Amino acid sequence: MNPPLAEPPPPPVPVLALGDVLLVTLQGDLHDSAAERLQHDIAERVAREPVAGVVIDISGVEVVDSFLARVLAEIASTARLLAARTVLAGMRPAVAVTLVELGLTLPELTTVLDVGQALALLGRTPSGPRARQGGA
Amino acid sequence: MQVPEQDTVPESAARWVGEFLRRRQEQIAQRWADAELFRTVFTVSRDEAVEACKAVLDALSAVAAHGALENVAAPGFGPVRDQLGRMAGSRSRAGAGPARVADEVAALRGPATALLRGEFEDPSSEQAHECVLALTVLMGTLRLVVMETALGEGEQLIERQRQQLLEVATPVINLWHGIVAVPLIGTLDSARSQVVMENLLDAIVTQQARYAILDITGVPTVDSLVAQHLMKTVAAARLMGAECIVSGIRPAIAQTIVHLGIDLGTIPTRNSLADALAHVLRQQGIAVSAGAPVGAVPR
């Protein structure tokens, strides 16, 4: 039997641009290196492009720990320094309960039920940009 | 009564008692039907009481015939367990405590022993003593079976009701499109607050609710633990993207919260459920206006 190979690096989390909103969809576990890469990517994109908001969709995440919570909070703080707003969308009930039990209530993050509402909040409807101004 | 030297009952005596119970079933049943236990449970007809006595005697006779006098779990008791449970339940509903029921079961021994003694020409012979002892042990076992069955029924009842309480007491109401409310009633403990939280969060997902109202009008007291549960629920709802409002805090509870030094500052509160709903509707830009006044128009 061959000795186990070193684990291949996890693929980077894609960051999609929808007009001036960045959409990040997290799925399953987020490895340390992928998280670091994601933070770096978002910071670069927000600084380089005219980004008004970052939407992080975590509806596909079933387990969170304090690490992921810290990564999310750091992304939000970084984006705010660069004048962009971060919205967290679609947290599952079990995940919300876990975070609260851990005492991580993420006060610096705006939260919404799903990506559609996040885009509406940032002043874009899913069908077209600038359809509705302002939001909440 | 002279107690035999050995504590164990010889198997022959047990068999003999089993045979005796079967042979004298009718007479014993007639006497037992007049005993307090059967008389008070089967008030409608005496025949019914006699039938019930016969069923119990059948079971006792089967258990004795197998020589398992002290075995509470003997299969012979199987057929009458239900009946014994119902009888014990009926007695406890009539206000007789467990000790009283045990006494009533014990009182069944007297008539049976009297008949048993009558079977022997010499009631003081060793065989007679052995048989009386066997019957005594058997009746003791019956008493244990009755108590065990009664307690088991009670536990099942409590478990069922606890479950029902959890289900009944925590409904999530869809007040408006995207607005859900939970009217909390009664004391909140950890188990209930957990259920409330889970139900509310699930409802937020299924109803796509952006607002959730926790109404605590029906909560008699709030201590630091309950306040902590409320804060956790509100925080979890917020993480999911729904704003959570607490309504219906009564003046006494408001004072208690302040005296306990609990900071509910992060939780939006409203006076009543109606106020909370009005606030949420305003937030969503929904205007509710009074229509034309509706009087008592004859139809």
A vs B, Cβ pairs < 8 A, gives 55
B42 vs A102: which has the higher pLDDT: A102
For an interface test with B, which of A97, A109, A110 has the most B Cβ atoms less than 10 Å from its Cβ? A97
Rounded to whole angstroms, the Cα distance separating A103 from A64 reads: 13
B42 vs A47: which has the higher pLDDT: A47
Which amino acid belongs to residue A54? Answer: V
Residues of B in contact with A108 (CB under 8 A): none
Rounded to whole angstroms, the Cα distance separating B39 from B45 reads: 9
B297 φ, ψ (degrees, to nearest 5)? -85, 130
From start to end of chain B, where are the E strands?
173-176, 179-185, 211-218, 243-247, 269-270
Note the Cα A43 to chain centre separation in Å: 12
User: What CA–CA distances, in Å, run from B222 to A86, B256, B261?
Assistant: 36, 7, 12
Contact B238 A88 (CB under 8 A): no
- The answer to whether B190 faces chain A, any CB pair under 8 Å, is no
- Pick the residue from chain A with its C-alpha nearest to B197: A97
Picking from A60-74, A107-121, B110-124, B244-258, which range would have the lowest pLDDT averaged per residue?
A: B110-124
B207 vs B148: which has the higher pLDDT: B207
In chain A, residues 31-90 whose CB comes closer than 8 Å to chain B = 88-90
Cβ proximity of B69 and B60 under 8 Å: no
For an interface test with A, which of B198, B240, B280 has the most A Cβ atoms less than 10 Å from its Cβ? B240
Rounded to whole angstroms, the Cα distance separating B285 from B292 reads: 22
Confidence bin at B169 (pLDDT 50/70/90): low
Cβ proximity of A51 and A45 under 8 Å: yes
Q: If you search the block for the tokens 């006792």, which residue do you land on?
A: B60
Structurally, at CATH architecture level, domain A15-121 sits in: 2-Layer Sandwich (3.30)
**Tens-digit pLDDT profile for residues B54-83:** 887 888 777 877 777 777 777 777 777 777
Rounded to whole angstroms, the Cα distance separating B243 from B245 reads: 7
Looking at the predicted structure, is the pLDDT value of residue A136 above 50?
no
Contact A111 B241 (CB under 8 A): yes
Domains present along chain B, CATH in parentheses = 11-161 (1.10.490), 173-283 (3.30.750.24)
ipTM higher than the 0.90 cut: no
Closest CA to B126 of B27, B21, B16, B23: B16
- Pick the residue from chain A with its C-alpha nearest to B209: A113
| Residues B185-188: contacts with CB under 8 Å, at least 24 apart | B185/B218, B185/B219, B186/B218, B186/B219, B186/B220, B187/B219, B187/B220, B187/B221, B188/B219, B188/B226, B188/B229
Q: Considering the entire predicted model, what is its pTM?
A: 0.62
**Tens-digit pLDDT profile for residues A74-116:** 999 999 998 899 999 999 999 999 999 888 888 888 999 999 8
Looking at the predicted structure, is the pLDDT value of residue A2 above 70?
no
User: What is the mean predicted confidence (pLDDT) over B163-173?
Assistant: 77
For an interface test with A, which of B239, B263, B280, B282 has the most A Cβ atoms less than 10 Å from its Cβ? B239
- Pick the residue from chain B with its C-alpha nearest to A99: B236
Please name the residues in contact with B220: beta carbons below 8 A apart, sequence gap of 6 or more. Answer: B186, B187
User: Closest Cα of chain B to A78: distance in Å?
Assistant: 20
Contact A99 B242 (CB under 8 A): no
Residues of A in contact with B198 (CB under 8 A): 93, 97
- In a 13 Å sphere around the CA of A125, the CA atoms on its Cβ side amount to 6
- Pick the residue from chain B with its C-alpha nearest to A96: B236
B44 φ, ψ (degrees, to nearest 5)? -75, -55
Contact A113 B237 (CB under 8 A): no
B107 vs A36: which has the higher pLDDT: A36
User: Closest Cα of chain B to A46: distance in Å?
Assistant: 24
Helix H, strand E, coil C: the string for B98-155 is HHHHHHHHHCCHHHHHHHHHHHCCCCCCHHHHHHHHHHHHHHHHHHHHHHHHHHHHHH
User: Closest Cα of chain A to B142: distance in Å?
Assistant: 50
Which amino acid belongs to residue B291? Answer: G
Closest CA to B20 of B143, B122, B106, B128: B128
Report domain extents, chain A. 15-121
